A and B are shown apart, each in its own frame.
Chain A
């Protein structure tokens, strides 16, 4: 199932025919989708569907057996250290903060790879925008979880990426923090940054995503607007294990099922 950008320019992110194997296990099979400039696409699917493997393939952490990943028409970086230079930022499911470094230092780390380095002013602006200016000098490990998630987001945004990969950004957050996060994601996309996110919180996905790509056992089984995907019988079957066409009233309230996802590969603590 392939979707493409409507613009003449190459899409910001283009994944075509991506197949990834780990030994004898095929994690992704012929996965294709794209993300246009300023578009927000959500990658959803049940536990073990291969969502994080897609992220890892985009980040150069796993090698594709077949297919390709292109960013702005060019091959995606083959190693993780090239991500910042290619305009790509990623948050991690486990946050991956440097707990002993201050919040400001955490946000400065990705800027050290940018030449010439924009310096601390840009980092402080980003912290201000996310309401973290008051804790800039505090060790990141001492903050409560919602603030730690914002630090991770600030660290991803500080390089002004063209493609932002968010791995379960709403996980563990309360309603107020999710609303705030949704506003931030909309602002980022509105400024032209393309966003690809993995998320289980379907209300959040419905609020921020222009399109949703559904993975199951490494295959793309559905793609469309959140509403289209929500009504797709194949998606109901993948999530609920019921045959297509059988009514599932639990899907009508804005949430399908929220299975617990474990990291596929490459997750950092």
Chain B
């Protein structure tokens, strides 16, 4: 029982990171109808910025702020400078450009910083807390859950309660109609990329202290699992990304704890396969497609 509680609690923390990253994929998909295969590489760049700032100043929090800023700027630059110029009539074009961007960014990071893992220290202890003799999540896991909850709450408020969020949703659902109603759709797409890469960068920054450290491929597995979660939840659904991200995190934790770490990826893929067989558009996908 103690083992189950521990695996569930740590699984929730891992799932929160997955949910954040899955949410970043959903945001960019809703804004630009692109499955951004460059999300992992784009998310790692700001983490290098955070590590550099933290090393220079000794402040994790300044590094965190710089990572979010760098992620937002990177998202805007990639959208304005690259993705906006990709032909929109064929979705494959955007995917191919994204894959090319992955190669350029990861090769560039390896050239600039080397291919080896760099240790990244967490701002809080990663030793599990014990309550009543039962090992639970660590203070860092609690921090991760808290940050994920705050960010998701902020994004929910932005999209659900603000004029800007309403414009972003309108532009995502029906861009041509939105233009007739005065919504500056290209600006909303840029903002979507900005929010998406900043969110992905935060997820990657929260992840790296729990793994081997930082390298150009540090977020690759995170991307694979988060992409599976986003598809399970419904690629168009923020709620789906949240629910599926947490579920995939818990599933991977349980399988790792009771079987082996090697069995976790096949378990996630099995869940993905079952969901796609039962509900091809995901568990929380809306029925209607995007309109003009």
Contacts and interface: CB of A to CB of B under 8 A. Distances in A.
B163 A83 contact: no
Interface in B266-289: 286, 288
B27 to A, nearest CB: 16
Contact of A96 (B164, B169, B180, B184): B180
Interface in B153-168: 163-164, 166-167
A101 B173 contact: yes
B158 to A, nearest CB: 13
Nearest to A84: B182
Interface string A166-201: 000000000000000000000000000000000000
Contacts of B173: 98-101
Interface in B9-54: none
Nearest to B184: A81
A110 B291 contact: no
Interface string A115-157: 0010000000000000000000000010000000000000100
A59 B170 CA distance: 19
A92 B183 contact: no
A105 interface: yes
B167 A109 contact: yes
Q: Is the interface of B mostly helix, strand, loop or mixed?
A: helix
A99 B166 contact: no
B210 interface: no
A109 B181 contact: yes
Interface in A60-118: 79-85, 90, 92, 96, 98-101, 105, 108-110, 112-114, 117
Given A109-B167, A112-B163, A117-B163, A83 B180 contact: yes
A25 interface: no
Contacts of A110: 181-182
Nearest to A79: B179
B292 interface: yes
A58 B288 CA distance: 31
Interface in B179-237: 179-185
A260 interface: no
A92 B164 CA distance: 24
A82 B181 CA distance: 9
A99 B180 CA distance: 16
A81 B179 contact: yes
Nearest to A95: B177
A10 B272 CA distance: 63
B110 interface: no
A43 B214 CA distance: 65
Given A100-B286, A141-B288, A269-B292, A80 B170 contact: no
Contact of B182 (A81, A100, A266): A81
A96 B174 contact: yes
B178 interface: yes
A144 B287 CA distance: 17
A248 interface: no
B116 interface: no
A269 to B, nearest CB: 4
A30 to B, nearest CB: 26
Nearest to B173: A98
B177 A96 contact: yes
A85 B180 CA distance: 11
A4 interface: no
Interface in B72-100: none
A80 B181 CA distance: 8
A110 B286 CA distance: 24
B170 A109 contact: yes
A95 B173 CA distance: 14
A26 interface: no
Interface in A27-44: none
Given A141-B288, A269-B292, A98 B170 contact: yes
Given A96-B174, A112-B167, A80 B291 contact: no
Nearest to B186: A81
B167 to A, nearest CB: 5
A111 to B, nearest CB: 8
A101 B174 CA distance: 11
A113 B180 contact: no
Contacts of A108: 163, 166
B292 A268 contact: yes
Contact of B180 (A80, A101, A105, A269): A80
Given A99-B291, A100-B288, A268 B180 contact: yes
B178 A109 contact: yes
Nearest to B181: A110
A155 B169 CA distance: 16
Given A96-B180, A112-B164, A113-B181, 6 more contacts: A96-B176, A109-B166, A112-B182, A266-B176, A267-B292, A268-B176
Interface of B: 163-164, 166-167, 169-170, 173-174, 176-185, 286, 288, 291-292
